[in-house]
């Protein structure tokens, strides 16, 4: 017995130790995720049928959660702005409410949540809280760690701070998943901050804030840390904010990366940090499974699950979406004389100049709105960043037109950015073209499509000095030379006008785009520059497109988009300088600055050389005189 009992105790201890080790190794956390939903609650046309939508998403979420036993459901921001559902953003909070119905645990803010200004975001959060309480729905936790609440700019900021407190927004939350304490915090990156000009607050440094959050979460008992980062993954290493974050803050186990609409078939892994992205518009449900190996959380599984036609939609979710669509029709679309599914025209496909069509639509809308009082427009511009969808082939509906130019809100508090006037000098028009030629490589989304003129540039010329020619067109289509000191009328949507005014800072003052009024005074309030029709109503960018397409389709919507848009655009000529004449033709300011600096250096070197030569001559003369 003396030998048997200790042996049995030892065996029991070893067995318990083995069971404990197995239990540790078996600890798994499944994270289901989305980002950049952009109000895409319904499925949209795709190459192989349709894709996306919350009804299909709900089916996949239930299926994956059941298979895992337990799972977290997270979102990395920009859940709003992109379809007609955003038009009831302030009153119905459709995106957050539907996320609540689907069982999301947490989300964060993206730049587009600020598109309706701080007041709009505040109204949405309060509407969500009130509606959820009435319907008994649990809303996702809202985590936003790097908003600097000491920097509230105005009354919009005060309203937003109050609404976020009422909603219960926090810097981070602790969630339980299968017995594991998971700390989740959210942040907006530098580029997304730049893309939120209407945010009534400033933002703290991403990495500094992440370090604080991870330390605090560890202190609160978090065993795993997840960052909902609306920052993005970029092809250029120095711009890839979430990769820089992973390297700087290795305590983060998982980064759900939003903002850049990236689809990562395989995750990016830096050290022990997994970076995951599933693409935009609910095209996929992302899944990450992390497993504890005794030292850290290692990747056990990763999948992007497509929301294709073979995924049946959840019936209850479909019912809610149908009710929401009817509300959009009654409360918004009827104001513009359209219905959600109304066919405007037919798209035959192969539109090589589709994006220039948008600029033509803007130009035509202003002419129609102003009638006999039309003040000629030099250029109508549409940057790539405000184009949120492509026109589908076949019947193009009013909702399709809205989806293409869906961003923002006007002074009238109706969804959709209005068109605004901006007067630029001829010199600034050339700088505007340089945005397309050079700055679009630096600032995401500033690639330009224009009506009323064109430009040419050489890709191998010095950056910020690539444009070598620019022209305007008169009503007959004849070329008109630009006068550098003259003011020209430019029309764009509100967001674009605001963003283009930041080009001077982004180009270190080498390019200047300062919107002015007709008298040449700087525009400080873009609401005063809104284009209005004869009845004083704002001309919305999306409605400009809808009206333009409707004119092609006729009353029954059977007419086609003209064949001219199937031809390659002629307004922008891109090439490479093949000889010194082309390389230096019409040099921009940066060339002149470099030439001046080079000339100054040559002059200084020449003067120094002459001075040295003179000194040497004197020395030689003195030596000769001494010998004599």
pLDDT at 24: 45
CB-based contacts of 538, cutoff 8 Å, min separation 6: 410, 411, 412, 414, 418, 419, 530, 531, 532
User: What span, in angstroms and rounded, lies between the C-alpha atoms of 457 and 441?
Assistant: 14
* Phi-psi region at 578: left, alpha or beta (left = phi > 0; alpha = psi -120 to 50): alpha
CB-based contacts of 369, cutoff 8 Å, min separation 6: 531, 532, 533, 534, 539
> Would you say residue 617 has pLDDT above 80?
no
If residue 226 lies in a helix (H) or strand (E), which one and from where to where?
strand 224-230
Backbone φ, ψ for residue 261 (5° rounding): 55, 35
* Structure tokens, 175: 């969630």
> Would you say residue 263 has pLDDT above 80?
yes
pLDDT at 586: 66
Q: What is the number of residues in the chain?
A: 628
> Would you say residue 308 has pLDDT above 60?
yes
Residue 211: CB atoms within 10 A of its CB come to: 15
Tell me the average pLDDT across 8-19. Answer: 45
User: What span, in angstroms and rounded, lies between the C-alpha atoms of 383 and 528?
Assistant: 22
pLDDT at 610: 76
> Would you say residue 334 has pLDDT above 70?
yes
> Would you say residue 378 has pLDDT above 60?
yes
Q: What is the pTM assigned to this prediction?
A: 0.80
pLDDT in tens, 492-512: 999 888 777 667 666 666 677
CB-based contacts of 107, cutoff 8 Å, min separation 6: 74, 75, 76, 77, 79, 96, 99, 140, 141, 142, 143, 186, 228
* Structure tokens, 183: 């700390």
Question: Percentage of the chain with pLDDT > 90?
Answer: 71
Residue 455: CB atoms within 10 A of its CB come to: 24
* Structure tokens, 615: 């000194």
Tell me the average pLDDT across 6-33. Answer: 58
596 class by beta-carbon count within 10 Å (0-12 exposed, 13-18 middle, 19+ buried): exposed
Q: Give the sign of the dihedral formed by CA 196, CA 200, CA 204, CA 207.
A: negative
pLDDT at 277: 98
Residue among 362, 335, 386, 339 nearest 537 (CA):
335
Q: Helix, strand, coil proportions of the chain in percent (round to 5)?
A: 40, 25, 35
Distances from the Cα of 108 to the Cαs of 52, 77, 197, 207, in angstroms? 21, 5, 18, 17
> Would you say residue 352 has pLDDT above 80?
yes
pLDDT at 460: 85
β-strand partners of 409: 415
Lowest mean pLDDT among 126-140, 388-402, 455-469, 586-600: 586-600
User: Average per-residue pLDDT in the chain?
Assistant: 89
User: What span, in angstroms and rounded, lies between the C-alpha atoms of 252 and 273?
Assistant: 6
> Would you say residue 268 has pLDDT above 90?
yes
> Would you say residue 599 has pLDDT above 70?
no
Q: Evaluate whether 90 touches 125 at the Cβ level (below 8 Å).
A: no
> Would you say residue 436 has pLDDT above 90?
no
Lowest mean pLDDT among 384-393, 443-452, 544-553: 443-452
**Helical H runs in 26-139?**
54-68, 89-92, 94-102, 117-135
User: What span, in angstroms and rounded, lies between the C-alpha atoms of 58 and 584?
Assistant: 59
Backbone φ, ψ for residue 544 (5° rounding): -60, -45
pLDDT band, residue 47 (cuts 50/70/90): confident
pLDDT band, residue 23 (cuts 50/70/90): very low
Residue among 326, 318, 529, 523 nearest 421 (CA):
529
Tell me the average pLDDT across 22-40. Answer: 84
Q: Residue 196, Cα to own-chain centre: how many angstroms? A: 9
Residue among 224, 221, 225, 270 nearest 245 (CA):
270
> Would you say residue 619 has pLDDT above 70?
yes
Tell me the average pLDDT across 52-81. Answer: 97
pLDDT, greater one: 28 or 575: 28
> Would you say residue 18 has pLDDT above 50?
no
* Structure tokens, 431: 């700088």
If residue 601 lies in a helix (H) or strand (E), which one and from where to where?
helix 589-627
If residue 143 lies in a helix (H) or strand (E), which one and from where to where?
none
> Would you say residue 105 has pLDDT above 80?
yes
pLDDT band, residue 590 (cuts 50/70/90): low
Domains of the chain: 23-306 (3.60.21.10), 338-575 (3.90.780.10)
pLDDT band, residue 25 (cuts 50/70/90): very low
Site of tokens 């655009």: 569
pLDDT, greater one: 534 or 95: 95
pLDDT band, residue 17 (cuts 50/70/90): very low
Backbone φ, ψ for residue 479 (5° rounding): -70, 135
Tell me the average pLDDT across 254-282. Answer: 97
């Amino acid at each position: 017995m003396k030998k048997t009992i200790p042996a049995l105790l030892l065996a029991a201890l070893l067995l318990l130790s083995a069971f404990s080790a197995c239990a540790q190794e078996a600890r798994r956390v499944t994270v289901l995720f989305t980002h950049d939903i952009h109000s895409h609650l319904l499925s949209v046309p795709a190459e192989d049928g349709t894709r996306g939508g919350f009804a299909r998403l709900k089916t996949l979420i239930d299926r994956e959660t059941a298979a895992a036993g337990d799972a977290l459901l997270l979102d990395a921001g920009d859940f709003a702005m992109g379809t007609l559902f955003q038009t009831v953003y302030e009153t119905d909070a459709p995106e957050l409410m539907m996320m609540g119905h689907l069982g999301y645990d947490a989300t964060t803010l993206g730049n587009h949540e600020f598109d309706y200004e701080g007041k709009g975001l505040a109204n949405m959060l309060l509407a969500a809280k009130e509606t959820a309480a009435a319907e008994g729905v649990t809303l996702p936790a809202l985590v936003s760690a790097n908003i600097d609440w000491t920097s509230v700019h105005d009354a919009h900021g005060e309203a937003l701070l109050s609404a976020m407190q009422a909603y219960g927004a926090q810097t981070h939350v602790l969630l339980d998943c299968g017995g594991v304490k998971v700390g989740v915090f959210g942040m907006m990156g530098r580029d997304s901050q730049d893309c939120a000009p209407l945010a009534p607050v400033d933002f703290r440094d991403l990495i500094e804030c992440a370090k604080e959050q991870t330390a605090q979460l560890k202190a609160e008992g978090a065993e795993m840390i997840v960052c909902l980062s609306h920052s993005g993954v970029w092809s250029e290493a120095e711009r890839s904010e979430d990769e820089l974050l992973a390297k700087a803050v290795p305590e983060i186990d998982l980064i759900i990366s939003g903002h850049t609409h990236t689809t990562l078939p395989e995750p990016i892994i830096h050290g022990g940090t997994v970076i995951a992205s599933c693409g935009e518009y609910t095209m996929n449900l992302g899944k990450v499974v992390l497993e504890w190996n005794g030292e850290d959380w290692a990747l056990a599984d990763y999948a992007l699950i497509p929301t294709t036609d073979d995924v049946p939609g959840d019936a209850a979710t479909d019912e809610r979406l149908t009710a929401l669509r009817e509300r959009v029709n009654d409360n918004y679309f009827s104001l513009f004389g359209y219905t959600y599914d109304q066919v405007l025209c037919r798209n035959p496909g192969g539109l090589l100049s589709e994006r220039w069509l948008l600029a033509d639509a803007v130009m035509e809308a202003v002419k129609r709105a102003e009638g006999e009082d039309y003040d000629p427009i030099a250029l109508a511009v549409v940057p790539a960043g405000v184009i949120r969808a492509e026109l589908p082939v076949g019947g193009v509906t009013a909702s399709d037109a809205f989806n293409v130019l869906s961003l923002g809100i006007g002074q009238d508090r109706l969804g959709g950015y209005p068109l605004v006037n901006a007067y630029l000098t001829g010199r600034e028009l050339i700088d505007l073209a340089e945005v397309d030629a050079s700055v679009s490589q630096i600032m995401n989304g500033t690639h330009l499509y224009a009506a009323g003129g064109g430009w040419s540039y050489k890709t191998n010329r010095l950056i910020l000095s690539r444009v070598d020619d620019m022209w305007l067109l008169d009503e007959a289509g004849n070329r008109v030379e630009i006068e550098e000191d003259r003011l020209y009328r430019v029309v764009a949507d509100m967001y674009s006008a605001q963003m283009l005014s930041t080009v001077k800072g982004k180009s270190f003052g080498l390019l200047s785009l300062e919107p002015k009024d007709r008298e040449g005074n700087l525009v400080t309030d873009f609401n005063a520059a809104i284009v209005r029709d004869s009845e004083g109503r704002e001309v919305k960018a999306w409605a400009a497109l809808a009206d333009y397409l409707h004119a092609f389709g006729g009353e029954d919507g059977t007419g086609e988009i003209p064949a001219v848009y199937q031809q390659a655009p002629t307004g922008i000529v891109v090439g490479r300088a093949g000889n010194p004449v082309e390389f230096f033709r019409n040099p921009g300011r940066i060339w002149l600055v470099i030439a001046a600096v080079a000339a100054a250096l040559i002059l200084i070197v020449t003067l120094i050389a002459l001075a040295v030569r003179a000194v040497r001559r004197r020395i030689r003369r003195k030596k000769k005189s001494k010998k004599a």
